[in-house]
Amino acid sequence: MGRIVAVCVGEEKGKKKKDVGKAIIKEAYGIVGDGHAGTEREVSLLAMESIEKMRKLGLDVGPGDFAENLTTEGIDLVSFPIGTKLKIGEKITVEVTQIGKECHDHCAIYEQVGDCVMPREGIFVKVLEGGKVKRGDSIRVTEEV
């Protein structure tokens, strides 16, 4: 079982997001107030362990800098196949819909160091049951494909 270390929101897709600590996640929509809400990539997740890889390359980065909504710790996000269901806190249920993404335009992080972890290690989920999410909530697998 892992935990949520940051809840990040931003109005624009593909831009850094701000850690707001808590948010409302709506079923079949995403995080209220976020630019990804209502799209096929409702909520994005990235592991703190992935962010640490970029820090080791000398970057001063943290949660939200890769435009992810939820930063996790202690759960191997990229090991879950598409269709895996995850429970966040006591109520929220999401399903993995995409692992990684194609990066059409290189972001500022890629331009700085020639690499970025989000296209390989970020995941996207659709919301099956919404609720309130906050920093410190648990995240665990409930059904693996």
Q: Is the pLDDT confidence value at 114 over 70?
A: no
Query: What average pLDDT does this structure show over 13-34?
Result: 93
| Widest pairwise Cα distance in the chain | 39
Query: What average pLDDT does this structure show over 46-59?
Result: 87
CA dist., res. 20 & res. 37, Å (int): 16
CATH of the domain at 16: 2.40.33.20
Q: Domain total for the chain? A: 1
CA dist., res. 119 & res. 40, Å (int): 16
CA dist., res. 20 & res. 9, Å (int): 7
Query: What average pLDDT does this structure show over 102-117?
Result: 53
pLDDT, averaged across the chain? 87
Query: For residue 134, what are the domain limits?
Result: 2-143
Query: What average pLDDT does this structure show over 46-58?
Result: 88
Which of 131 and 117 is assigned the larger pLDDT?
131
Instruction: Determine the pLDDT at residue 138.
Output: 98
Query: What average pLDDT does this structure show over 81-88?
Result: 97
Query: What average pLDDT does this structure show over 121-130?
Result: 93
Q: Could you give the residue ranges of the DSSP H alpha helices within the chain?
A: 48-55, 108-113, 118-121
Q: Is the pLDDT confidence value at 125 over 60?
A: yes
Query: What average pLDDT does this structure show over 7-30?
Result: 92
Q: Is the pLDDT confidence value at 113 over 90?
A: no
Question: DSSP of 12-33, one letter per residue?
Answer: STTS--EE-SEEEEETTTEETT
Instruction: Determine the pLDDT at residue 58.
Output: 81
Which of 143, 145, 144, 133 has its CA nearest to residue 45? 133
